[in-house]
Structure 1
Amino acid sequence: MSGNKKPAMCPMVAWYDPRQLARTGVEVAVSTIFGRHSDYRITEALVPPDENDDVFGDEAGAPPDADGIYDYSLGQTMWLDYISDTGDGWDSTYSVAYYASQPQLIVAGHDKPMPRGAVLVFGGDEVYPTASRQVYRDPLIDPFESALSRTESPNPHVFAIPGNHDWYDSLVSFTRLFCSRRWFGGWQTRQSRSYFALKLPRRWWLIGTDVQLDSDIDIPQVRYFKRIAKRMNDGDRIILCTAEPHWIYAKIYGKDDQNYSEDNLAFLENKIFCNQQVAVYLSGDLHHYRRHATDAGLQKITAGGGGAFLHPTHGEDVTELADGYRLKKAFPPLNESKKLTWRNFGFLFMNR
């Protein structure tokens, strides 16, 4: 347990430091080369999900059922917390972890307090700039343990999908932390793979996917989700979590580069969950908040405000997306985002 002591040196990543850029570039190149020839997702699919029972015993979260479903469907309501793009410096990560750890939050515009989620979902890029045991420890595990070192039963659980930064060590550190059914501060990890399916109350499901460094969805993952789909009823609604907002990238870059598309999302929606409704697409990767919706209430949400540096919401026009999705809300608001760019004139003095 870390207590409330902050590590001596864990600042945010100096992205414009030439040495940092060089180190990151080398690791990205290596992981990209090896990722093309070795897919860790296939290896992890061979590991029995209950192999850690003897190690962690009763402290481990309960395993899924025979089809790999984690069942939270009892009751009529359930609270989920979602955090994406975190682990970029101790202070910012702790700020997010502090609020996620509170038993209740009073939020402006809501009459009743919001309880801490029974499940915390990490939406990708849990650390920066590249993954390692130490990088996971200092700017991620330590702040969350400091915010919430232990909880009473029933303990909240945590699930995570990897982003590109988590993949830069071939998912070794991610798997050690999130796929070994152990403690993460006051939360318990439960998953055994880098993708998962949660059965929620009132015929809702949360599906977490892993698309390795812009690869296609691997065969074991396809088979897993096909098993899940067979357990669903027609018309069940799905929250689909993915590490990148493909709908935004397809809008901005799709005309010039066919690699930027929504093919993986379309495959899941039309080929696997074809008898259900993907009602919410949820992603991070862009470090701001954007919500697009259709007149029918379908949602595409980018929520990458987990503590990493801020991305602007102005610039390329993403007001309207394919299939009738329109921008409903953005944070920072577009006008505020434009004002913040004036601070770039002080870049040499502020980026230290």
Structure 2
Amino acid sequence: MSHSEGRRDHGRVPRRSLLPATLCAAPLLLRPRASLGTPPPGSLTWRGFKSRFVSQDGRVVDPAAPEVSHSEGQAWALLLAEHHDDREAFGRILAWTRQRLAVRPDRLLAWRWRVDAGGVVDDPNNATDADLCFVWALLRASRRWPRDGLQGVAFAAAADIRRLLLRSVGGRLVLLPGARGFEHDRFVVANPSYYVFAALDDLASALEDETWSRLADHGERLLFDARFGRWALTPDWVRVARQDGRVSMLPNRGERFSYDAVRVPLYLAWSRRGTPVMLDPFADFWTDRTHAYLPAWSSLTNDGLSPYAAGPGIRAIASLTLAAAGRSPAGLPPPGGEPLNYYHSALALLAEVVGRETGLGPAALRASAT
């Protein structure tokens, strides 16, 4: 599958209104935070993630597809290593990433590397969310380990994101999902889950460049305008019309709230933008009393649900979202569903990081298991 049409191999009435102007100036904590609960023993840890998914040379390996590694996995692992003050792992992961994925003429990362193609990049296009997470991990690490010279690397990569991936479309400042394959005559394709808001806001502060804040503000508005179906959920992929900036679902790829869009509330909760007006649709969906189980996805054209329960990573994000919205995770349907694979493990650990860094409470994964 080409990254130009989306990366993840998973599987109609919009509710629109004006986003309150006060949201853009909202402080990080706007309301009492609900606790995520007490962690039970035996839950996923960063050490366990490293042991299972990070090779000795620093490659993040998904056992379900061990022949492929992605810039997304490398960048997320760097964020996790920095958060856990794991300098040794950070160095290994960074070294592999720079050696294997930094092969483009710019400072963006190639999104996919394959063992079965001879240990080479087989698609040099980038994945912008991974680039943002990569830059943010370097920026965070430069503060934790200031002698490692990482700030300059972060700033240089950020400059290429700004130069190559930002577009003015119908009055909106839009973040392209990749440098190639997303711009068309009448519309531009965007992925709402690629807006890593805390990273954008951090870059705005670190670089003293309001372009990053404006991009985040426009991304927040895009999310508000991209609400579809019974629960007013965000699609995996959207189209932004060049003429007027209208947001619509991308046919065939963007008609579900699914494995991409599930990261939207995660990234909102990690930022000052995780307000009730932004998070309530997700919280309402996940606590709908008509659900016999926690859905892994929903069709935004007919409100259909996945025929199986969501896995632990999605459950962790749901738990985090409820806490960020001031609700109790006890309102979630019973657990079950997909196993704790690479993707769910990464999402669960990221939710744990968000819980710790925002003061929401203990690890979302561990709370969601109670």
Per the normalisation by structure 1, the TM-score is: 0.30
Choose between structure 1 and 2 for higher RCO, CA contacts under 8 A separated by at least 6 residues.
2
Greater helix share, structure number: 2
Which structure: greater strand fraction?
1
